[in-house]
Amino acid sequence: MASSRKRLNASFPADLRGKRVAVGLSGGVDSVVLLHLLRELAPRHGFRLSAVHVHHGLSPNADAWARFCRKLCRDWAVPLGVRKVSVRKKGRGLEAAAREARRAAFAAVPADAIVLAHHLDDQAETVLLNLLRGAGPRGAAAMPVAGRIGDKRLLRPLLQVPRREILEYARAHHLEWIEDESNRDVALARNFLRLRVGPLLGERFPRWRESLARAARHFAAADVGAGRVLREFLAARGMRAPSEAKLAEMLKQLTAGGARTLMQHDGRQLRVYRGKVEITPAGEPAPFAATDWQGERRLALPALGGELRFGRARGRGIAAALVDGRKLSVRLRRGGERLRPDSRRPRRSLKNLFQEAGVPPWQRERLPMLFCGSELVWVAGLGVDAAWRAGSRAPGIVPAWRPASA
Protein backbone atom coordinates (compact mmCIF):
# COMPACT_ATOMS: atom_id res chain seq x y z
CA MET A 1 0.00 0.00 0.00
CA ALA A 2 3.05 2.27 0.09
CA SER A 3 2.64 2.84 -3.64
CA SER A 4 -1.03 3.67 -3.08
CA ARG A 5 -0.08 6.21 -0.40
CA LYS A 6 2.29 7.89 -2.85
CA ARG A 7 -0.38 7.80 -5.56
CA LEU A 8 -2.95 9.32 -3.19
CA ASN A 9 -0.49 12.01 -2.12
CA ALA A 10 0.28 12.89 -5.73
CA SER A 11 -3.31 12.79 -7.02
CA PHE A 12 -5.20 14.37 -4.12
CA PRO A 13 -6.41 17.83 -5.20
CA ALA A 14 -3.95 20.56 -4.25
CA ASP A 15 -6.61 23.27 -4.23
CA LEU A 16 -8.18 22.02 -0.99
CA ARG A 17 -5.67 23.87 1.19
CA GLY A 18 -7.61 25.61 3.95
CA LYS A 19 -10.81 23.79 2.93
CA ARG A 20 -13.04 21.51 5.00
CA VAL A 21 -12.72 17.86 3.92
CA ALA A 22 -15.10 15.25 5.38
CA VAL A 23 -14.58 11.49 5.04
CA GLY A 24 -17.64 9.26 4.81
CA LEU A 25 -16.87 6.84 7.67
CA SER A 26 -18.97 3.68 7.83
CA GLY A 27 -16.53 1.92 10.16
CA GLY A 28 -15.71 -0.72 7.55
CA VAL A 29 -12.13 -1.42 6.53
CA ASP A 30 -12.28 0.75 3.38
CA SER A 31 -13.35 3.95 5.11
CA VAL A 32 -11.10 3.34 8.13
CA VAL A 33 -8.08 3.02 5.83
CA LEU A 34 -9.12 6.14 3.91
CA LEU A 35 -9.43 8.15 7.12
CA HIS A 36 -6.04 6.85 8.29
CA LEU A 37 -4.41 7.90 5.01
CA LEU A 38 -6.01 11.35 4.92
CA ARG A 39 -5.14 11.93 8.57
CA GLU A 40 -1.48 11.64 7.53
CA LEU A 41 -2.04 13.69 4.38
CA ALA A 42 -3.96 16.61 5.94
CA PRO A 43 -0.96 18.44 7.50
CA ARG A 44 0.99 18.36 4.23
CA HIS A 45 -1.92 19.47 2.07
CA GLY A 46 -3.28 21.93 4.63
CA PHE A 47 -6.95 20.91 4.64
CA ARG A 48 -9.18 20.57 7.71
CA LEU A 49 -10.16 16.93 8.13
CA SER A 50 -13.35 15.60 9.70
CA ALA A 51 -15.53 12.52 9.35
CA VAL A 52 -19.24 11.84 9.02
CA HIS A 53 -21.00 8.59 9.93
CA VAL A 54 -24.47 7.95 8.47
CA HIS A 55 -26.64 5.99 10.91
CA HIS A 56 -29.23 4.16 8.80
CA GLY A 57 -30.80 2.26 11.69
CA LEU A 58 -31.30 -0.77 9.42
CA SER A 59 -29.14 -3.15 11.45
CA PRO A 60 -29.46 -4.13 15.12
CA ASN A 61 -25.75 -3.30 15.28
CA ALA A 62 -26.16 0.27 13.95
CA ASP A 63 -25.71 1.88 17.38
CA ALA A 64 -22.57 -0.18 18.01
CA TRP A 65 -21.13 0.95 14.65
CA ALA A 66 -21.74 4.58 15.58
CA ARG A 67 -19.99 4.01 18.93
CA PHE A 68 -17.03 2.43 17.14
CA CYS A 69 -16.71 5.45 14.82
CA ARG A 70 -16.92 7.86 17.75
CA LYS A 71 -14.15 6.02 19.62
CA LEU A 72 -11.95 5.78 16.53
CA CYS A 73 -12.26 9.49 15.77
CA ARG A 74 -11.72 10.40 19.42
CA ASP A 75 -8.53 8.31 19.48
CA TRP A 76 -7.33 9.88 16.22
CA ALA A 77 -8.40 13.43 17.18
CA VAL A 78 -10.64 13.73 14.12
CA PRO A 79 -13.98 15.61 14.52
CA LEU A 80 -16.94 13.33 13.78
CA GLY A 81 -20.56 14.04 12.95
CA VAL A 82 -23.13 11.23 13.26
CA ARG A 83 -26.19 11.76 11.11
CA LYS A 84 -29.27 9.61 11.59
CA VAL A 85 -31.39 9.06 8.49
CA SER A 86 -34.68 7.36 7.71
CA VAL A 87 -34.55 4.95 4.76
CA ARG A 88 -37.86 4.95 2.90
CA LYS A 89 -38.13 2.52 0.00
CA LYS A 90 -41.10 4.19 -1.80
CA GLY A 91 -41.07 1.76 -4.71
CA ARG A 92 -37.28 1.38 -4.82
CA GLY A 93 -35.05 -1.39 -3.55
CA LEU A 94 -33.48 -1.07 -0.12
CA GLU A 95 -30.02 -0.49 -1.61
CA ALA A 96 -31.24 2.45 -3.73
CA ALA A 97 -33.19 3.95 -0.83
CA ALA A 98 -30.20 3.71 1.52
CA ARG A 99 -27.93 5.21 -1.14
CA GLU A 100 -30.26 8.18 -1.56
CA ALA A 101 -30.48 8.71 2.21
CA ARG A 102 -26.68 8.70 2.44
CA ARG A 103 -26.32 11.21 -0.37
CA ALA A 104 -28.84 13.53 1.27
CA ALA A 105 -26.92 13.27 4.55
CA PHE A 106 -23.57 13.95 2.86
CA ALA A 107 -25.04 16.90 0.95
CA ALA A 108 -26.01 18.51 4.27
CA VAL A 109 -22.55 18.16 5.85
CA PRO A 110 -20.81 21.53 6.46
CA ALA A 111 -17.79 20.78 4.27
CA ASP A 112 -16.23 21.83 0.98
CA ALA A 113 -15.55 18.25 -0.13
CA ILE A 114 -16.84 14.80 0.74
CA VAL A 115 -14.37 11.93 0.32
CA LEU A 116 -15.66 8.37 -0.07
CA ALA A 117 -13.77 5.07 0.10
CA HIS A 118 -15.03 3.39 -3.07
CA HIS A 119 -12.24 1.23 -4.51
CA LEU A 120 -11.44 -0.69 -7.68
CA ASP A 121 -13.56 -3.73 -6.73
CA ASP A 122 -16.57 -1.46 -6.08
CA GLN A 123 -16.06 0.17 -9.48
CA ALA A 124 -15.91 -3.16 -11.32
CA GLU A 125 -19.05 -4.42 -9.58
CA THR A 126 -20.88 -1.19 -10.40
CA VAL A 127 -19.98 -1.48 -14.10
CA LEU A 128 -21.24 -5.07 -14.18
CA LEU A 129 -24.46 -4.25 -12.32
CA ASN A 130 -25.25 -1.30 -14.56
CA LEU A 131 -24.61 -3.29 -17.73
CA LEU A 132 -26.88 -6.09 -16.50
CA ARG A 133 -29.60 -3.47 -15.94
CA GLY A 134 -29.26 -2.30 -19.54
CA ALA A 135 -27.55 1.01 -18.86
CA GLY A 136 -25.87 2.98 -21.62
CA PRO A 137 -22.44 4.66 -21.70
CA ARG A 138 -23.07 6.74 -18.58
CA GLY A 139 -24.08 3.72 -16.52
CA ALA A 140 -21.14 1.73 -17.85
CA ALA A 141 -18.84 4.62 -16.88
CA ALA A 142 -19.88 3.85 -13.28
CA MET A 143 -18.45 6.13 -10.58
CA PRO A 144 -16.27 9.14 -11.41
CA VAL A 145 -13.13 9.88 -9.40
CA ALA A 146 -14.42 13.43 -8.87
CA GLY A 147 -17.94 14.80 -9.06
CA ARG A 148 -20.46 16.91 -7.16
CA ILE A 149 -22.85 16.21 -4.33
CA GLY A 150 -25.12 19.15 -3.67
CA ASP A 151 -22.95 22.28 -3.56
CA LYS A 152 -19.75 20.45 -2.65
CA ARG A 153 -17.12 18.30 -4.32
CA LEU A 154 -17.28 14.52 -4.18
CA LEU A 155 -13.94 12.68 -4.32
CA ARG A 156 -13.10 8.97 -4.59
CA PRO A 157 -9.28 8.82 -4.33
CA LEU A 158 -9.12 5.01 -3.86
CA LEU A 159 -11.04 4.17 -7.01
CA GLN A 160 -8.02 2.52 -8.65
CA VAL A 161 -6.88 0.67 -5.51
CA PRO A 162 -7.93 -3.02 -5.22
CA ARG A 163 -9.57 -4.14 -2.00
CA ARG A 164 -6.84 -6.67 -1.26
CA GLU A 165 -4.36 -3.79 -1.05
CA ILE A 166 -6.63 -1.95 1.35
CA LEU A 167 -6.81 -5.04 3.58
CA GLU A 168 -3.03 -5.43 3.47
CA TYR A 169 -2.60 -1.81 4.59
CA ALA A 170 -5.11 -2.22 7.43
CA ARG A 171 -3.37 -5.33 8.76
CA ALA A 172 0.11 -3.83 8.39
CA HIS A 173 -0.97 -0.81 10.49
CA HIS A 174 -2.93 -2.93 13.00
CA LEU A 175 -6.15 -1.03 12.27
CA GLU A 176 -9.51 -2.14 13.64
CA TRP A 177 -12.79 -2.04 11.74
CA ILE A 178 -16.32 -3.41 11.80
CA GLU A 179 -17.99 -5.96 9.55
CA ASP A 180 -21.50 -5.27 8.29
CA GLU A 181 -23.42 -8.55 8.44
CA SER A 182 -25.51 -7.51 5.44
CA ASN A 183 -22.40 -7.83 3.27
CA ARG A 184 -22.96 -11.61 3.38
CA ASP A 185 -26.58 -11.39 2.20
CA VAL A 186 -26.63 -12.69 -1.38
CA ALA A 187 -30.24 -11.53 -1.76
CA LEU A 188 -28.68 -8.12 -2.40
CA ALA A 189 -27.56 -7.80 -6.02
CA ARG A 190 -24.11 -6.40 -5.31
CA ASN A 191 -23.34 -9.09 -2.74
CA PHE A 192 -24.47 -11.78 -5.19
CA LEU A 193 -21.98 -10.49 -7.75
CA ARG A 194 -19.21 -10.16 -5.18
CA LEU A 195 -19.67 -13.54 -3.47
CA ARG A 196 -21.00 -15.78 -6.23
CA VAL A 197 -20.21 -14.30 -9.65
CA GLY A 198 -16.85 -12.66 -8.88
CA PRO A 199 -15.06 -15.87 -7.82
CA LEU A 200 -16.26 -17.64 -10.97
CA LEU A 201 -15.05 -14.81 -13.19
CA GLY A 202 -11.74 -14.84 -11.36
CA GLU A 203 -11.14 -18.48 -12.32
CA ARG A 204 -11.06 -17.62 -16.03
CA PHE A 205 -10.31 -13.88 -15.96
CA PRO A 206 -8.04 -13.15 -12.95
CA ARG A 207 -7.90 -9.40 -13.70
CA TRP A 208 -11.56 -8.93 -14.54
CA ARG A 209 -11.90 -6.12 -11.98
CA GLU A 210 -9.06 -4.11 -13.47
CA SER A 211 -10.45 -4.72 -16.97
CA LEU A 212 -13.95 -3.52 -16.08
CA ALA A 213 -12.59 -0.47 -14.24
CA ARG A 214 -10.50 0.38 -17.32
CA ALA A 215 -13.61 -0.08 -19.51
CA ALA A 216 -15.44 2.35 -17.22
CA ARG A 217 -12.82 5.01 -17.97
CA HIS A 218 -13.25 4.40 -21.71
CA PHE A 219 -17.03 4.70 -21.42
CA ALA A 220 -16.67 7.91 -19.42
CA ALA A 221 -14.48 9.40 -22.17
CA ALA A 222 -17.05 8.38 -24.80
CA ASP A 223 -20.06 9.65 -22.85
CA VAL A 224 -21.10 12.49 -25.13
CA GLY A 225 -24.31 13.42 -26.90
CA ALA A 226 -27.78 14.75 -26.12
CA GLY A 227 -28.39 12.53 -23.11
CA ARG A 228 -25.27 13.46 -21.19
CA VAL A 229 -26.76 16.50 -19.46
CA LEU A 230 -29.79 14.50 -18.30
CA ARG A 231 -27.64 11.63 -17.03
CA GLU A 232 -25.47 14.06 -15.06
CA PHE A 233 -28.58 15.79 -13.72
CA LEU A 234 -29.95 12.48 -12.42
CA ALA A 235 -26.60 11.31 -11.04
CA ALA A 236 -26.14 14.55 -9.09
CA ARG A 237 -29.43 13.78 -7.32
CA GLY A 238 -28.44 10.24 -6.41
CA MET A 239 -30.48 8.54 -9.13
CA ARG A 240 -29.16 5.64 -11.17
CA ALA A 241 -28.53 5.94 -14.89
CA PRO A 242 -31.50 4.94 -17.07
CA SER A 243 -31.23 2.40 -19.87
CA GLU A 244 -30.71 3.77 -23.37
CA ALA A 245 -34.37 3.14 -24.28
CA LYS A 246 -35.59 4.82 -21.09
CA LEU A 247 -33.21 7.74 -21.64
CA ALA A 248 -34.51 8.28 -25.17
CA GLU A 249 -38.13 8.29 -23.93
CA MET A 250 -37.29 10.70 -21.10
CA LEU A 251 -35.57 13.09 -23.51
CA LYS A 252 -38.57 12.94 -25.83
CA GLN A 253 -40.99 13.87 -23.05
CA LEU A 254 -38.74 16.56 -21.62
CA THR A 255 -38.30 18.13 -25.03
CA ALA A 256 -42.08 18.29 -25.44
CA GLY A 257 -42.13 20.03 -22.06
CA GLY A 258 -45.91 20.07 -21.51
CA ALA A 259 -47.43 20.95 -18.17
CA ARG A 260 -48.69 17.37 -17.85
CA THR A 261 -45.25 15.82 -18.32
CA LEU A 262 -44.74 13.14 -15.68
CA MET A 263 -42.06 10.44 -15.73
CA GLN A 264 -41.23 7.72 -13.23
CA HIS A 265 -37.60 6.77 -12.67
CA ASP A 266 -35.68 5.13 -9.82
CA GLY A 267 -38.53 5.55 -7.35
CA ARG A 268 -39.09 9.25 -8.08
CA GLN A 269 -41.06 11.44 -10.43
CA LEU A 270 -39.76 13.93 -12.97
CA ARG A 271 -42.00 16.84 -13.94
CA VAL A 272 -41.54 19.93 -16.08
CA TYR A 273 -42.77 23.42 -15.21
CA ARG A 274 -41.82 26.54 -17.18
CA GLY A 275 -38.85 24.80 -18.76
CA LYS A 276 -37.43 23.53 -15.44
CA VAL A 277 -37.22 19.85 -14.46
CA GLU A 278 -38.45 19.12 -10.93
CA ILE A 279 -37.94 15.85 -9.02
CA THR A 280 -40.53 14.71 -6.48
CA PRO A 281 -41.05 11.50 -4.46
CA ALA A 282 -43.18 8.83 -6.10
CA GLY A 283 -46.40 7.54 -4.57
CA GLU A 284 -49.32 9.11 -2.77
CA PRO A 285 -48.50 11.97 -0.37
CA ALA A 286 -48.81 11.29 3.34
CA PRO A 287 -52.06 12.47 4.94
CA PHE A 288 -51.85 15.75 6.84
CA ALA A 289 -54.08 16.97 9.65
CA ALA A 290 -54.31 20.59 10.81
CA THR A 291 -51.60 21.32 13.39
CA ASP A 292 -51.62 24.10 15.98
CA TRP A 293 -48.54 26.25 16.54
CA GLN A 294 -47.67 26.35 20.23
CA GLY A 295 -45.01 29.06 20.00
CA GLU A 296 -42.05 26.78 19.29
CA ARG A 297 -39.20 28.06 17.09
CA ARG A 298 -39.36 24.97 14.87
CA LEU A 299 -42.47 23.01 14.03
CA ALA A 300 -41.71 19.70 12.31
CA LEU A 301 -44.22 18.71 9.62
CA PRO A 302 -42.93 15.29 8.42
CA ALA A 303 -46.06 14.59 6.36
CA LEU A 304 -45.19 17.65 4.26
CA GLY A 305 -41.48 16.82 4.15
CA GLY A 306 -40.07 19.75 6.11
CA GLU A 307 -40.48 22.12 9.02
CA LEU A 308 -41.79 25.59 9.76
CA ARG A 309 -39.35 27.93 11.47
CA PHE A 310 -40.50 30.99 13.38
CA GLY A 311 -38.21 33.95 13.85
CA ARG A 312 -38.77 37.29 15.58
CA ALA A 313 -38.13 40.68 14.00
CA ARG A 314 -39.38 44.25 14.09
CA GLY A 315 -41.30 45.62 11.16
CA ARG A 316 -41.51 42.22 9.41
CA GLY A 317 -43.71 39.15 9.39
CA ILE A 318 -47.00 38.67 11.22
CA ALA A 319 -47.93 41.40 13.73
CA ALA A 320 -47.34 39.79 17.13
CA ALA A 321 -49.99 42.01 18.73
CA LEU A 322 -52.70 40.68 16.40
CA VAL A 323 -52.12 37.03 17.30
CA ASP A 324 -51.31 37.50 21.00
CA GLY A 325 -53.49 35.09 22.94
CA ARG A 326 -54.95 33.62 19.74
CA LYS A 327 -54.20 30.27 18.14
CA LEU A 328 -52.37 29.93 14.83
CA SER A 329 -53.11 26.73 12.93
CA VAL A 330 -51.20 25.11 10.04
CA ARG A 331 -53.47 23.83 7.28
CA LEU A 332 -53.35 22.91 3.62
CA ARG A 333 -55.13 24.47 0.69
CA ARG A 334 -58.71 23.33 0.13
CA GLY A 335 -59.70 25.66 -2.68
CA GLY A 336 -61.16 29.15 -2.78
CA GLU A 337 -58.63 30.73 -0.40
CA ARG A 338 -57.63 34.33 -1.12
CA LEU A 339 -54.71 36.42 0.07
CA ARG A 340 -53.62 40.05 -0.11
CA PRO A 341 -49.82 40.10 0.07
CA ASP A 342 -49.70 43.60 -1.47
CA SER A 343 -51.67 46.29 0.39
CA ARG A 344 -51.92 48.31 -2.85
CA ARG A 345 -53.82 45.54 -4.63
CA PRO A 346 -57.06 43.71 -3.87
CA ARG A 347 -57.30 40.25 -2.33
CA ARG A 348 -56.58 37.59 -4.98
CA SER A 349 -57.00 33.84 -5.40
CA LEU A 350 -54.10 31.61 -4.39
CA LYS A 351 -54.18 30.06 -7.87
CA ASN A 352 -53.34 33.40 -9.49
CA LEU A 353 -50.74 34.27 -6.86
CA PHE A 354 -49.04 30.87 -7.19
CA GLN A 355 -48.94 31.21 -10.97
CA GLU A 356 -47.45 34.67 -10.66
CA ALA A 357 -44.83 33.42 -8.18
CA GLY A 358 -43.90 30.46 -10.41
CA VAL A 359 -44.88 27.77 -7.89
CA PRO A 360 -45.39 24.43 -9.72
CA PRO A 361 -48.98 23.09 -9.58
CA TRP A 362 -48.05 19.86 -7.75
CA GLN A 363 -46.42 21.83 -4.92
CA ARG A 364 -49.36 24.14 -4.31
CA GLU A 365 -51.52 21.56 -2.54
CA ARG A 366 -48.74 20.63 -0.09
CA LEU A 367 -47.50 24.05 0.99
CA PRO A 368 -48.34 24.97 4.60
CA MET A 369 -50.60 27.91 5.35
CA LEU A 370 -51.19 29.68 8.70
CA PHE A 371 -54.73 30.51 9.79
CA CYS A 372 -55.96 32.49 12.78
CA GLY A 373 -59.44 31.16 13.27
CA SER A 374 -60.99 31.20 9.80
CA GLU A 375 -58.73 33.97 8.45
CA LEU A 376 -55.77 33.18 6.22
CA VAL A 377 -52.67 34.89 7.62
CA TRP A 378 -49.65 33.50 5.75
CA VAL A 379 -48.88 31.15 2.85
CA ALA A 380 -45.50 29.53 2.16
CA GLY A 381 -44.02 30.97 -1.01
CA LEU A 382 -46.39 33.98 -0.99
CA GLY A 383 -46.00 35.71 2.34
CA VAL A 384 -48.16 37.49 4.94
CA ASP A 385 -51.58 38.96 4.24
CA ALA A 386 -51.40 42.76 4.36
CA ALA A 387 -54.04 42.95 7.11
CA TRP A 388 -51.83 40.85 9.42
CA ARG A 389 -48.45 42.38 8.61
CA ALA A 390 -46.35 43.94 11.37
CA GLY A 391 -46.07 47.71 11.16
CA SER A 392 -42.83 49.65 11.08
CA ARG A 393 -40.74 48.81 14.20
CA ALA A 394 -43.59 46.71 15.62
CA PRO A 395 -42.74 43.19 16.87
CA GLY A 396 -43.33 40.55 14.23
CA ILE A 397 -43.35 36.76 13.87
CA VAL A 398 -41.52 35.65 10.72
CA PRO A 399 -42.51 32.17 9.46
CA ALA A 400 -40.25 30.34 7.00
CA TRP A 401 -40.92 27.00 5.29
CA ARG A 402 -37.89 24.71 5.04
CA PRO A 403 -38.35 21.53 2.98
CA ALA A 404 -36.09 18.68 4.11
CA SER A 405 -34.36 18.65 0.70
CA ALA A 406 -33.46 22.35 0.92
pLDDT for 295-349, tens place per residue? 999 999 988 888 999 999 999 999 999 998 889 999 999 888 999 998 888 999 9
Helices (H) then strands (E): counts for the chain: 15, 20
Q: Lowest-confidence range among 26-35, 80-89, 174-183, 296-305?
A: 80-89
Please determine, for residue 10, whether its predicted confidence score (pLDDT) is greater than 80: no
- Cβ-contact 154, 116 below 8 angstroms: yes
Domain extents in the chain: 2-229, 242-281, 291-403
Give the three-class secondary structure for 55: strand
Give the separation between CA 135 and CA 242, rounded to whole angstroms.
6
pLDDT at position 2 = 57
Give the separation between CA 265 and CA 234, rounded to whole angstroms.
10
Give the pLDDT band of residue 47 (cuts 50, 70, 90). Answer: very high
Give the pLDDT band of residue 269 (cuts 50, 70, 90). Answer: confident
Tell me the backbone φ, ψ of residue 12, rounded to 5 degrees.
-65, 135
Percentage of the chain lying above the pLDDT 90 cut: 42
Domain 2-229 has CATH 3.40.50.2300: no
pLDDT at position 406 = 47
